[in-house]
Chain A
Amino acid sequence: MDISTSLAAVAFAALIHASFQLSVSVLTLMSGHAIGAKRTQAKVMRLTTGFIFGVAVMTMLVLSFVALVLLHVFGADTPKIVWAAGCGLLVGVAVAIWAFYYPHKKGTILWIPRAVADYLTKRTKATKDSAEAFGLGLSSVLAELLFLIAPIVISAMILIQLPPLWQLAGIGIYTVISLLSLIIVWVLIGSGHTLAGIQKWREENKRFLQFAAGLGLVVLGFYVYVGEIMNVTAGGI
């Protein structure tokens, strides 16, 4: 893959990442508690900004760490078997998302360990300053790592093939695009929209988001498989 194609694939993976909902749920809940506790709009915006920074930092750290490990183990020329495994991971996680992501329950409850969900729910209520919101952002990325790992691993595999400067640009592009859903919620809260409206939209469209995320992963897996495995196989004949 050339640089532009690689960055496009990374951007697409980040878009799939943005469709995952745990961080949006945590942000919505945290804002609800902050507004309900009569905090000023400026304070609510500081908390939500801190939370988004936390998510950004953890996303960047996880992506960089996975890229570093892959680079250390396989070098810039990742073996075909690892590409095949990466594509398999994408399809496997896509099936898991279609099957489990939203259990058949009311609301936007996600398929994550209940202890983690309870912890995050308690923390949303207890969060009172930006530093705590930042920490909550870090935790929410880790809590959803089971699903996020697929687009992150494949992005890291694509990025380590690029020249160093483009790797940094790729990490930046991935991080910014993966934050899009949070940024939209942040803008809606800042412009005075009610959380009930945001939550209603999320609940009404959760099946569509679930389907789109799974389909996105399958499409990305197919694209990477054709680009990295079939291409080389055809060239080798």
Chain B
Amino acid sequence: MTLVVDIVKHGKRPSESFSREKLHASIVAACLSVRAPEGQAEATAHAVCDAVIVWLRQRPEVTSTDIRTIAARYLKSHHPDAAYLYEQQHSTI
């Protein structure tokens, strides 16, 4: 079944469709930035993406902040440091 969810972006940027690849890449980057091994980063990203997709099935439209919050919540159980850095990306500067 194809998942069609609109992601409302922050500010004046236009909405876009949910992309598993994009979420996956951002989770992998967060894991690697806390020096997790590449295999672990990939496995964690798969698990988090699966969990986020289950959560998205009930929702046709969410904000990018919702995605970040939910992804960080699932990521926390796999890698708390990566989850912390993932959450902090937009609240560092």
Q: Does B84 contact A36, Cβ atoms closer than 8 Å?
A: no
Q: Does A196 contact B82, Cβ atoms closer than 8 Å?
A: yes
Chain B CB within 8 A of A142 CB: no
B-contacting residues, A101-137, CB 8 Å = 105-110, 112, 117, 120-121
Query: How far is B34's CA from A108's CA once the two chains are assembled, in angstroms?
Result: 18
Q: Does B33 contact A32, Cβ atoms closer than 8 Å?
A: yes
B-contacting residues, A1-40, CB 8 Å = 22, 25-26, 28-29, 31-33, 35-38
Interface size on A, residues (CB 8 A): 30
Interface size on B, residues (CB 8 A): 19
Chain A CB within 8 A of B88 CB: yes
Main SS of the interface on chain A? helix
Q: Does B90 contact A108, Cβ atoms closer than 8 Å?
A: no
Within the complex, which residue of A33, A37, A110 is in contact with B93, where a contact is CB–CB below 8 Å? Answer: A110
Chain A CB within 8 A of B92 CB: yes
Give the A-B pair count, Cβ closer than 8 A: 66
Chain A CB within 8 A of B7 CB: no
Chain A CB within 8 A of B29 CB: yes
User: If A32-B33, A36-B30, A38-B32 touch, does A199 touch B85 (CB 8 Å cutoff)?
Assistant: yes
Kindly supply a per-residue 1/0 record for chain A positions 193-207, scoring 1 wherever the CB is within 8 Å of any chain B CB and 0 otherwise: 011110110010000
Which B residues are within 8 Å of any A CB, using their own CB?
28-30, 32-35, 38, 81-82, 84-85, 87-93
Other CB < 8 Å A-B pairs besides A32-B85, A37-B32, 14 of them?
A29-B89, A31-B33, A36-B28, A108-B88, A108-B91, A109-B93, A110-B93, A117-B93, A121-B93, A196-B34, A196-B82, A197-B81, A199-B85, A203-B88
